[in-house]
Amino acid sequence: DWKLQDVLTEQIELVKSMVGPDDYAICALSGGVDSTVAATIVHRAIGDRLFCCFVDNGLMRYKEQERVMETFKSDLHLPVTCVDATEQFLGKLKGVSDPEKKRKIIGAEFIAVFDEFSTKLEKQLGKRPAFLVQGTLYPDVIESCPPPGSGKSHSHTIKSHHNVGGLPAEMKLKLVEPLKWLFKDEVRKLGELLDVPSYFLKRHPFPGPGLAVRVMGDVTLDNALDTLRLADEIFINCIKEAGLYDEIWQAFAVYLPVKTVGVQGDKRTHSHAIALRAITSQDGMTADWYHFNTKFLAEVSSKICNTVRGINRVVYDITSKPPATVEWE
């Protein structure tokens, strides 16, 4: 696509002219497409004056940290520091079950970790990084700053998504947003031009607060996170094996805090239930639940109950958006 090749060249030049030869930039990678493509563009422009970090908050999917770090290293040759902040995040989330409180805590912790990363770099470089790379897309720009007369307003938000404009003004970072004029499909194409592997570009979206919004209630109880990770991995693998991954916008498992009675291996059990959700969508704003065939659902259900300790029941979410949201919290 010659037009996108031009956009790429232009953006690389723009970043070069923005970030002076003695300046440094930082970027928080989430493991998602947008931040990865944004960082790759900036890396092409300023090389090792870009410092990326990936924060493991303990709310990631199965083997997520190893998988994305491997992609950054082997496929993208992007130097990334992995910060393990699991205990810090989970410590703060202990005993908290309100969804919005969970989001606020995660947002605040994330800023604290990122600020510390910046301070460490300042000591090492003798100068604090002045630029922040973000994978903001055009729809994010419109949503957080609606054009006059569009009838939309800031207070239009249903959930506090913390990945847009979440960093406090006192960090005084100048924003570098090379994807600001692009839509998701264009970012994927840019990613292709930058040799980002296609399996990575096709990954389903994943919310900033991670599995915290997929464990209903307190995430630290009953080994919920590990249980959810396994069930989710089984579900996703079944979807991939059936060749359905690319036609689904998002699919995931949800951990329910309720216990129900079951019978497993001649024994009565009293264990947790897992809900499965899969949707099709254009942009996440509205969505339809995905119509799997019943044989597929039966297979996933028995695989999860036979493999995941502490689960004796699987239910499938047949609600569209609206009335439900995509995530359960």
Quote the least distance from Cβ 54 to ligand XMP, whole Å: 15
Cβ-Cβ contacts under 8 Å for 183 (sequence gap 6 or more): 137, 138, 139
Quote the least distance from Cβ 88 to ligand XMP, whole Å: 19
Which of 26/326 has CB closer to ligand XMP? 326
Which of 158/258 has CB closer to ligand XMP? 158
Which of 4/206 has CB closer to ligand XMP? 206
Quote the least distance from Cβ 37 to ligand XMP, whole Å: 16
Quote the least distance from Cβ 129 to ligand XMP, whole Å: 23
The reply, when asked if residue 35 is annotated as ligand binding, is yes
The reply, when asked if residue 232 is annotated as ligand binding, is no
SS (H, E, C) the chain: CHHHHHHHHHHHHHHHHHCCCCCCEEEEECCCHHHHHHHHHHHHHHHHHEEEEEEECCCCCCCHHHHHHHHHHHHCCCCEEEEECHHHHHHHHCCCCCHHHHHHHHHHHHHHHHHHHHHHHHHHHCCCCCEEECCCCHHHHHHHCCCCCCCCCHHHCCCCCCCCCCCCHHHCCEEECCCCCCCHHHHHHHHHHCCCCHHHHCCCCCCCCHHHHCECCCCCCCCHHHHHHHHHHHHHHHHHHCCCHHHCCEEEEEEEEEEEEEEECCEEEEEEEEEEEEEECCCCCCEEECCCCHHHHHHHHHHHHHHCCCEEEEEECCCCECCCCCCCC
The reply, when asked if residue 31 is annotated as ligand binding, is yes
Task: State how far the Cα of 14 lies from the Cα of 36, in Å rounded to an integer.
Answer: 18
Which of 165/284 has CB closer to ligand XMP? 284
Closest CA to 313 of 260, 265, 268: 260
Binding site for ligand XMP (CB under 6 A): 103, 158-159, 161-163, 205, 207-209, 250, 284, 321, 325-327
Residue at 234: amino acid letter: I
Quote the least distance from Cβ 279 to ligand XMP, whole Å: 9
Which of 275/326 has CB closer to ligand XMP? 326
The reply, when asked if residue 153 is annotated as ligand binding, is no
Quote the least distance from Cβ 116 to ligand XMP, whole Å: 22
Angle at 228 between CA 208 and CA 60, to 5 degrees: 30
The reply, when asked if residue 81 is annotated as ligand binding, is no
Which of 49/162 has CB closer to ligand XMP? 162
Which of 40/163 has CB closer to ligand XMP? 163
Quote the least distance from Cβ 161 to ligand XMP, whole Å: 4
Could you list the residues known to form a binding site for ATP, using ranges: 30-36
Could you list the residues known to form a binding site, using ranges: 30-36
